[in-house]
Structure 1
Amino acid sequence: MAEFMELEGQDGVRMAWNVIPGTKQEASNCVVPVSAVYTPIKPFPNMPVLPYAPLRCRNCRSVLNPFSIVDFAAKIWICPFCFQRNHFPPHYASISDENLPAELFPQYTTIEYQSPGEASSIPPVFMFVVDTSIIEEEMAFLKSALSQAIGLLPDNSLVGLITFGTLVHVHELGFNTIPKTYVFKGSKDVSKEQLLEQMNFFLIKPKPPTGVIAGARDGLSSESIARFLLPASDCEFALNSILEELQKDPWPTPVDQRASRCTGTALSIAASLLGACVPGSGARILAFIGGPSTEGPGAIVSKNLSEPIRSHKDLDKDSAPHYHKAVKFYEALAKQLVHQGHVLDLFACALDQVGVAELKVAVERTGGLVVLAESFGHSVFKDSLRRVFRPEDKDLGLSSNGIFEINCSKDIKVQGILGPCASLEKKGPLCSDTIVGQGSTSAWKMCGLDQATSLCLIFEIVKKEIPDATLQSSNNQFYFQFLTYYQHRTGEMRLRVTSLSRRWVAGPGSIQDLIAGFDQEAAAVVMARLVSFKMEIEAEFDPIRWLDKALIHMCSRFGDYQKDSPSSFSLSPRFSIFPQFMFHLRRSQFVQVFNNSPDETAYFRMILNRENVANSVVMIQPSLISYSFQSAPEPALLDVAAIAADRILLLDSYFTIVIFHGSTIAQWRKAGYHNQPEHQAFAQLLQAPRDDADAIIKERFPVPRLVICDQHGSQARFLLAKLNPSSTYNSDSHHPGGDIIFTDDVSFEVFLDHLQRLAVQ
């Protein structure tokens, strides 16, 4: 994998196929689509930032790059995408072989342009939308977390506050003599015009007879905007005093009913208010939700406790009465937010579901962050919230207002993107007729993006067949260019350009080249995103069957074997871990929805859809490290055989980190041996996994849940569920001091046997 990691370290790109099948037929035989996982604003320490505007091709608008052919004498460059000849402008007059501009250096395939004088005048905007229909204890946790967050806000950022329960309260922070709020009915959707009218936006300046009303430029007086959005330094006192006095929703809830909570109306009002005051700026709505929405548009369940909250079964059988209506409402909200350039971040903290499955579309299309925890007092929530505002803990590098565009050689088309973005519907010759995710466009809006945000691009090869003459020709390269135009957190606009070239092969003898360029980690991640996407949009889709068929096809195409002889089957090292990834993907939380609520499944998939390859691989196949007196910490096989009485195991499954003590270790710990000076080594053994877990937690967002458990304890299930069940209650061999798993799942060995049998047919 080292060479693929190196490419990622240079350009932030991992491709499933680094040597590309050259024709449509070859590509479909390869099963895993030609695809790339790209992290648009991944930080690179030595990437040049150029202080001038980029040079673009007059025909296809691609940017001058190291793959352009340059004629120094005639001062002309030829675009590698459309072969257009372009003249260099006068300020490139001194260009020569010895005197190249940075964008033509072969090592600078990724480069950034910083346009002078284009900094945005609007500071970052944070609109807090806070649920008050929660119990007193949760209220206290939430208030303390919010006042901490408000203390960490940048001084120049603008802040607004909306609280909601049965009614929606919009707080006027600029009115500092007494607290003043505007109240809206939770069961009714409020249009932007009604909102402005009722909140007295036209007292100072009358409403203009025509034109849009949005922002100070468009006819809203800045005084009326400043009533609801104030710089953090001016309103910290007002905000904290409102938070101190904030009570749980005062409306009584009958015993047989759920609390009334109008999440949809509150978010809709927040979006309309930001759309009126600061359109086109990098504003974020931070929604803190502590229970299911039961009132108004976007409700996920009725108030009657006799009606259960929808489960996966209900969604499959189409018997969730509120689901489609709520999704439709949030799709409209997503469209409005994308149009305004604003982000929705979701902090959902409740033991029950809050409606993440319905809200998913609005969070994902705007590139928002999502955190799911059991309580507002849980470290998963508190530490994650702190990281949003404290760059020294973990710099998320939150940026906004991104537009992502793509250019590629004419034999390639784009089917779409799986990831946090929204289509800008820029149709053209690059768009494929097959749509995957956000498709039929070559430009996407990314309202919010950070240093880890990763997009999965799915391509289609359109060449039908290769004429003999071109096989000998030297031009067997495909070119790709990714352009990301975004607002850096310093406020200035930047353009990141990544240009790539990959060799294509076709015809007999190309299989060895394809194998050499196969990145099994990237391929597993692409398959995981694809299977999650298909499970959501295709009725009657059978994910296990689809994954198995794909794997059997790949093994029979790329494996080495004699027909009908399973024992002769072998895979090249480039492919050898791929079946293992597929085995764990079939058992993962992305495919197995049993035991998870629709909210949890939506949450896992949202994180999978925005993370880079290395992190996504840990979600598919967790890593396991073993600690013992006999040896230094070492990676262990993800198998029940790894459990031993005298070992400590550290499991990292991305969302949860488990420290698992074998039974002997647990007994010694309970006896307090680690506190005795002569058992120093034991104390160090106990501490080592804690230190490693802390290091992992420091690097993650959202912060993972830490589970510390003992063999045979109730929490040991967090580890056992992820292990390969090689010894179960009905198998013959058991390891002394080890463990068995009570499951009817097949083990990896059985899975591999079946795979070999089917592949060689």
Structure 2
Amino acid sequence: MASPSQQLPPGWAAEWDPNAQRYLFIERETGRSQWEVPIANPELGGMSPPSVSPPPATNHHGKRRQYAAGQTQAYYGTPDALAAPSYGAAAPQPQPAQLFTPGLAAENQFQQQQAHQQQGYYGGAPAPGEPEYINAPGFGQGPAIAPPTSALADQFSQMNVGQQRPTLFTANLLASPPDPRELFRPPPGICLPPNASISPSPYANADPSYQRCTLNAIPVSSSLLNKSKVPLALILCPYRSLKEGDDPVPLVTDTVIARCRRCRTYINPYVQFIDGGNRWRCCMCNMSNEVPQLFDWDQVRNQPGDRWARAELNHAVVEFVAPTEYMVRPPQPAVYIFLIDVSHSAVQSGMVATATRTLLENLDRIPNEDSRTKVAIVAFDVSLYFFSMPPGSTESSMLVVSDLDDVFLPKPTDLLVNLAEARASLESLLGRLSEMFQENHTIGSALGPALQAGFKLMAPIGGKIMVLSASLPSLGAGALKNREDPKILGTSKESGLLQSASPFYKTFAIECSRAQVSVDMFLFSAAYQDVATLACLPHYTSGQTYFYPAFNASRTEDAVKFAHEFGEVLAMPIMLEAVMRVRASKNLRMSSFHGNFFVRSTDLLAMPAVPQDQSYAIEVTIEDTITSPFVVFQTAVLHTTCYGERRIRVVTTALPTTNNLSEVFASADQIALATLLANKAVERSITHKLEDARDALFGKMVEILQAYKASMTAAGAGASAQLAIAENLKLLPVLVLGLLKNVGIRQSAQIPPDLRAYSQALLTSLPSQLLMPYLYPTFYSLHNMPPECGTVGDHGVILPPPLPLTSEHLERHGLFLIEDGQTIFLWVGRDAVPQLIMDVFNLPSYEVLRGGKTTLPVLDNPFSQRVNAVIQKTREMRRGVYYPHLYIVKEDGEPPLRLWALSCLIQDRADVLPSYQQFVSQLRDKV
């Protein structure tokens, strides 16, 4: 049988209707659909419907076959050491191995791909050594075999794809269930006019992992933008971490910085040189500027240099070493102050011992290349304990301050010490600290006074305060009361629990921001700790909140998770005394800002210490009609590195303008949109109610679908059997559903306010690569994964193909992995054969297996090693410091754990929350 696409005339697409068991043919331009289509094939007689075979029914499962006698044969009889043990009923269907890592490897390959993106959304052949991307128009309509690279290249060169804008393809949400592989697609191509850039470099436009826009073609007027209902915003992550294989950000060391005299834009690949190359015209405001004299001089070789080789003209992401005029004061050293809770509960949980041991083990990883880094340790319960560490000695003395109303420093020196000079006394103190408070039975926490003491120590310099707290602050400034009330959970009053309970923390945070002090919170309480109030500190000082509910170091998993994350935070290079500003072309204005920072003036964001992999969202307003063929966004972050050098990181993105609504839709980036909506939903749930946030999300989705239907489909305003949306926005509804079902937003009377507040902190700070799995978790079948999965390929460990998030893929004899970047679940079916349990868990049978938090053993058999490799790769591939816990979930195990794991399968119905099918039906009814 021929596939329909081979027989269709241009402009038509075919969709298989599983209910009618035949193809529905859709004319792309008009959206009109019919069962028969004029065929451009004289042999078929012109008008008859094509004889085509339906696609294999991958998403429609009949009844599952259950484990029965004789099923184990497939497993025992695997001759090949690497062959996937088929623990299931039927032999597994061969699945295409996922030859690239979700999220990150895909993002690492963005760099190579950037050059090919210019060839349109689907265009371009992969670069040598790059995996075949799922980027053929037929993707998602049944398996298609990718043509060889050279064939693809020839095909596209004949089609002249390079000049095309992204083409709009319509998808019917009712007929196309979400395909998780779509998430790894690059965003729609950016098709700039010819000669927009003065450099042919593939890096002339910022990689999406640093800066991406919700629209890759900017509407020329606000009325056109309003018509599409798609919000316009930038998603920034200017300091994303570099993984192996990532290109470092180029550094311009000669301190020659060319900026526009009028709008202060930094020179970039989108300016124009005029007047024989002596002047350059700004791409934002068209001002003509002089080229600095030393711009064409190579200071290293002391000879004329090649202007066209300069990094700032070839790279969209670049860092300048700043000259002295960019400094208010000389670069300050990095300062770390550790405030450690030593009350009874903190000591008993093992937090103090784990924290001090981790700190001791990681002293060499704290950034200190220039030997200027300073540290201080302050312990607290109902009093404050300062430690004096004289340089050159191994002794340290403890000074106690009990006056919490007027906090003072008990000694002018030796409290904040140089890390290198006082290393011996610091090491001996960390070795003894947990024993000093071993018998501490004091209950209570003077966190506010401890913060004030830390602030006094570092205010003249600035730096980072790391708070490790295991109980609710109960004494002195910032004391809080337990306001957790089960009766108001799930009601309209619940959002009150997500707002700060005390003005102290916001006021103190703003004071910190002024003095260049950033705060990180590590929270460990088993009881209520008011995360919503304490998270204010990191929120306004560009820090981060880490939460370990019911932490107990006697459970190895808890100690390992905290030690890993705390160690990574200590080792992270941070950017100090930072200010960030985003500039844009004429008639574009930054209107609202989301993320962890303090807005100092209308558009200057103050960030005392910028951690890596923190994301920000900035909404953009179109103030007047845009007349230029393309616009430019430029983010500049002025900061001091933790090695004492003042630098400016500049990230530039150029995007074409359009007056065509279909191009606006075709250029929409669903991942950037979902990131923006997560930020807006959290903000609304705090300023209004949780219910308002959910309604606003649903309403926004309806608006976009209505706008698309009214302007892009033939049905227009009438009733239709379809729910049409642009192909490149096909996953937006399921991402919105994932957000509606996320702990931070979800309707439920069972979610503790601390967990909800922590989830909201994650929703507003995670970079897109971590946020997507948090909204749309990854789901793998391990018992029948293809033989190469779990082994090392060209791009590291090969992962299994991801499955749609619905429990109809769970088999009673199977082993499945579900993960959302924060937690990993291993789901074990109740009919799992003994050999599978033996191979993975080293236990004789399913009955003996216990559910719960665990560490998986690495056993001497290929299957165990492959499962462990998949779990290890899953942990490593995400950006950020997080180390997800691993839980074993038995199909008939503890109900709370089962429900938690199943809540990740967001396409299923749960409690009062709809399934994906029901959600799409609700959308259709509204549209």
TM-score (norm 1): 0.80
SS of match in other structure, 1:61: coil
1:484 corresponds in structure 2 to 637
Which segment drifts farther, 57-66 or 37-46? 37-46
Give the CA deviation at 1:325.
5.2
Deviation, structure 1 residue 67: 1.3
Deviation at 1:132, TM superposition (A): 1.6
- 8 Å CA contact 1:405, 1:443 repeated in 2: yes
Q: Distance in 2 between matches of 1:627 and 1:574?
A: 29
Instruction: State how 1:145-184 maps to structure 2 within 5 Å.
Output: 145-154=355-364, 156=371, 157-174=373-390, 179-184=397-402
Query: After superposition, where does 1:160-239 map in structure 2 within 5 Å?
Result: 160-174=376-390, 179-186=397-404, 188=405, 190=407, 195=408, 199-201=410-412, 223=413, 231-239=421-429
Task: Work out which of the residue numbers 703, 708, 717 in structure 2 matches 1:558.
Answer: 708
What is the aligned counterpart of 1:549 among 677, 687, 699? 699
Aligned counterpart for 1:665 among listed residues 832, 841, 857: 832
What secondary structure does 2:727 align onto? coil
CA distance in 2, matches of 1:387, 1:716: 26
Cα drift, residue 570 of structure 1: 2.7
Native 8 Å contact 1:344 1:363 kept in 2? yes
CA offsets 1:253-276 (integer angstroms, 9 cap, x no match): xxxxxx32121121122112211x
Q: Deviations over 1:3-36 (max 9, x none)?
A: 5599663771121111122222222333342111
Counterpart for residue 622 of structure 1: 777
Q: How does 1:298-309 map to 2 (within 5 A)?
A: 298-301=478-481
**Residues of 1 paired with 2:781 and 2:498: CA distance?**
47
User: SS of 1:407's equivalent?
Assistant: strand
1:163-185 C-alpha deviation (Å, 9 max, x unpaired): 11112222223396662303133
* C-alpha separation in 2, matches of 1:458 and 1:75: 36
The yes-or-no answer on 1:294 pairing with 2:474 is yes
What is the CA distance between 1:505 and its match in structure 2? 2.2
Secondary structure, aligned partner of 1:9: coil
Which amino acid in the other structure matches residue 172 of structure 1? S
Residue number among 722, 737, 747 corresponding to 2:904 in the alignment = 722
2:872 pairs with 1:656: no
Aligned 8 A contact 1:82 1:409 in 2? yes
CA drift of 1:670 comes to: 5.3
| Whole-angstrom CA distance in 2 between matches of 1:673 and 1:335 | 51
Question: Which residue, out of 224, 231, 234, partners 1:33?
Answer: 231
SS in 2 for 1:351: coil
| Equivalence map 1:426-575=2 (5 Å) | 441-463=602-624, 475-506=628-659, 510-539=660-689, 542-559=692-709, 560=713, 562=715, 563-575=717-729
Of the three residues 589, 606, 609, the one matched with 2:764 is 609
Deviations 1:708-738 (A, max 9, x none): 1211211222221122464x7xxxxxxxxxx
The one of 694, 705, 708 equivalent to 2:888 is 708
Give the Cα separation in 1 of the matches to 2:312 and 2:647. 19
Question: How far apart, CA to CA, are the structure 2 residues paired with 1:540 and 1:607?
Answer: 16
1:748 paired residue number: 916
* 1:587 corresponds to which of 733, 736, 741: 741
Instruction: Give the % identical residues.
Output: 17
Work out whether 1:71 is the aligned partner of 2:274: yes
Q: How far apart, CA to CA, are the structure 2 residues paired with 1:74 and 1:123?
A: 41
- Structure 2 vs 1, CA of residues 624 and 247 (structure 1 numbering), >3 Å: closer, same or farther? same
Show the counterpart of 2:583. 407
State the distance in 2 between where 1:689 and 1:614 align: 23
Closer/same/farther in 2, CA of residues 545 and 703 from structure 1, 3 Å limit: same
Kindly state the Cα deviation for residue 138 of structure 1 after the two structures are TM-superposed: 3.0
Q: Which runs of 5+ in 2 are unaligned?
A: 1-184, 190-202, 299-303, 788-799, 845-857
Q: Which residue of 1 aligns with 2:148?
A: none
Equivalent of 1:48 in 241, 250, 255: 250
Distance 1:52 1:140 in 2: 50
Aligned to 2:58: none
Q: Matches of 1:74 and 1:319 in 2, distance apart? A: 59
2:515 equivalent to 1:340: yes
Q: Per-residue deviation at 1:625?
A: 1.0
Give the deviation of 1:145 after TM superposition.
3.1
Moved more, 96-105 or 265-274: 96-105
Q: 1:132 to 1:362 in 2, by over 3 A?
A: same
TM-fit CA distance, 1:383? 3.7
- 1:260 aligns with one of 419, 428, 444: 444
Is the contact made by 2:776 and 2:906 (CA closer than 8 Å) also made in structure 1?
A: no
Structure 2 CA distance for partners of 1:315 and 1:149, relative to 1, 3 Å: farther
2:804 to 637, 652, 665: 637
Q: Distance between the aligned counterparts of 2:724 and 2:892, measured in 1?
A: 38
- Contact (CA 8 Å) 1:412, 1:461: kept in 2 or not? yes
User: Contact 2:568/2:881 (CA < 8 Å) preserved in 1?
Assistant: no
Q: Deviations over 1:631-659 (max 9, x none)?
A: 45321110010111122111111221111
Distance in 2 between the 1:596 and 1:162 partners? Answer: 34
Deviations 1:456-493 (A, max 9, x none): 11111112x57xxx5xxxx2322211101122233322
Contact 1:656 1:704 in 2 (8 A): yes
The alpha carbon displacement at 1:628 in A equals 2.5
Q: Deviations over 1:189-209 (max 9, x none)?
A: 53xxxx25xx354xxxxxxxx
What is aligned with 1:127?
337
User: 2: CA distance between counterparts of 1:565 and 1:690?
Assistant: 51
**How high is the TM-score relative to the length of structure 2?**
0.66
Q: Is the 8 A contact 2:484 2:528 kept in 1?
A: no
Residue identity in the other structure for 1:370: T
- 1:702 shift after superposition: 2.5
Q: Deviations over 1:591-629 (max 9, x none)?
A: 116332222222112222222212111111111111233
The answer on whether the counterparts of 1:158 and 1:231 sit within 8 Å (CA) in structure 2 is no
Query: How far off its partner does 1:494 sit?
Result: 1.7
**Cα contact 2:495–2:689 (8 A) shared by 1:** no
* 1:140 positional shift: 3.9
Match of 1:204 in 2: none
Match of 1:270 among 450, 454, 460: 454
Partner SS, residue 566 of structure 1: coil
CA distance in 2, matches of 1:576, 1:540: 26
Corresponding position: 1:92 with 2:300: no
1:407-462, Cα deviation, whole Å (9 max, x unpaired): 1122111112211211121xxxxxxxxxxxxxxx2211112223312211111111
Alpha carbons 1:301, 1:322 under 8 Å: kept: no
Distance 1:289 1:717 in 2: 30
Cα 1:644–1:77 change in 2 (3 A) is same
Q: Secondary structure at the match of 1:610?
A: coil
Name the CA distance, whole Å, in 2 between partners of 1:185 and 1:648. 58
Match of 2:167 in 1: none
DSSP 3-state at the match of 1:354:
coil
Contact persistence 1:4–1:14 (CA under 8 A): no
Q: Is the 8 A contact 1:417 1:455 kept in 2?
A: yes
Aligned-partner Cα distance in 2 for 1:270–1:358: 19
Task: Give how far 1:362 is off.
Answer: 1.0
The 1:200/1:178 distance shift into structure 2, 3 A limit, reads closer
Cα distance in structure 2, aligned partners of 1:163 and 1:189: 17
1:372 aligns with 2:526: no
| Structure 2 CA distance for partners of 1:690 and 1:189, relative to 1, 3 Å | farther
Alignment check: 8 A CA contact 1:174 1:228 kept = no
Residue in 2 that maps onto 1:102: 310
CA deviations over 1:532-572 (Å, ceiling 9, x no partner)? 11111125851222112111111111243524333143323
